[in-house]
Amino acid sequence: MSKAEAVEHPNLLALSCLFSQQLGLTTPAAPLTADQFGEMVETVMEEAGVKRPGQARTADARVVRMFLLMARHSYQRMLNPAPEPDRGLVQKALSFRSKGPETKSNFAQSRCDEASACRRVAEIERRVPEGATVLFLGDDDGVSPLLAEKYQVTMIDLDHEIVQWIAEVAPDVRAERCHVLQTPDSFTGAFQAVVADPIRGMEAEWFLLAAQKCLAAGGHFFWADHPDWNFAFPALQFQAEKSMELLDCLENWHCYPASIPVSEDETSGLGSEHQRFLELGRLISLWSNLYIFRKRVDCRRS
């Protein structure tokens, strides 16, 4: 999508109207600027009592805060889309994914779109030499098959359906069922790159510990996360930087669905505030950044 096409994105006006209605303002005839919309988001957050992270003390409050912040990120991305990856690679990702299982809430799975998966591939290929060993700590996004032709790829996941799917579509990928905290000793320092799009929460520390264990000195860690989605991220980043150097942060690089499946009957029974929240979920996406770390050569295993 070009920037000219992005300006015409219908959700820009819909979001402008939704937030104007929430604040009791006149409905705009044209989309707000990014700054105007951002100010509205700040006002709604203040009225909801979740403007500062410390105010969101319950799980529900954290979700409300996260959705409001993601509305701002989505609005900015509608105006300035992320780079478009190679179309052939996107078609390949679509083909692989058509054979994949549905995402499961009990495994906290949330699958980014195909373009996002391909942007991740492009960054790995740009920074990791061909033929290198690459470990995926989970892969419900289906990224590992896209690298199988150029790298020695291993993928572990606790969901046996993910393992089966990856093994079927990409026989060259070594796919195994394994918890990230139970990787074999043979994995220690064995990989030149580790890739993770972990659970949003302190459980992401498991993936970080696995990456620190499995990365060779000088190896790259590609980590998808976002401080506005994961309240624990600042603490996790602090821990990561004890043994790794942050090379880059590609902001709002991966796009995920935000909508909550609710029937019309269920929606009609909700109050106006809940209905607006559901409408917000239909109009926005969730976003993660891509953090790229390099393990320090002089770092011992954590």
Query: Rounded CA gap, 214 and 135, in Å?
Result: 8
Beta-bridge partner residues of 33: none
- What is the arithmetic mean of pLDDT over 125-132? 98
Q: Which domain holds residue 43?
A: 3-79
Name the residue with higher pLDDT: 57 or 94.
Answer: 94
Residues 6+ apart with CB under 8 A from 286: 66, 70, 110, 229, 255, 256, 257, 258
Query: What is the Rg, in whole angstroms, of the alpha carbon atoms belonging to the chain?
Result: 20
Q: What is the pLDDT of residue 278?
A: 87
215 or 61, which is more confident?
215
CATH of residue 101's domain is 3.40.50.150
Domain count, the chain: 2
For residues 220 and 105, membership in a common domain is answered with yes
How far apart CA 282 and CA 262 sit, in angstroms, is 11
CB contact set of 101 (below 8 Å; sequence gap of 6+): 159, 161, 162, 165
**Cβ-count burial of 175 within 10 angstroms (0-12 exposed, 13-18 middle, 19+ buried)?**
buried
Beta bridge partners of 194: 135, 221
Instruction: Work out the mean pLDDT of the chain and round it to a whole number.
Output: 90
Res. 8: pLDDT tops 80:
no
Whether the per-residue pLDDT at 210 is higher than 60: the answer is yes
**What is residue 222's three-state secondary structure?**
strand
Q: Are 262 and 196 in a shared domain?
A: yes
| Residue at which a domain ends, from 62, 79, 96 | 79
Question: What percent of the chain clears pLDDT 90, i.e. is strictly above it?
Answer: 76
- pLDDT digit string (tens) for 30-51? 999 999 999 999 999 999 898 8
Query: For 32, which DSSP code?
Result: P
Do 200 and 258 have their domain in common?
A: yes
Neighbours of 225 (CB within 10 A): 23
164 falls within a domain:
yes
Per the CB < 8 A criterion, the answer to whether 225 and 236 are in contact is yes
- The answer to whether the predicted template modeling score (pTM) of the entire model surpasses 0.95 is no
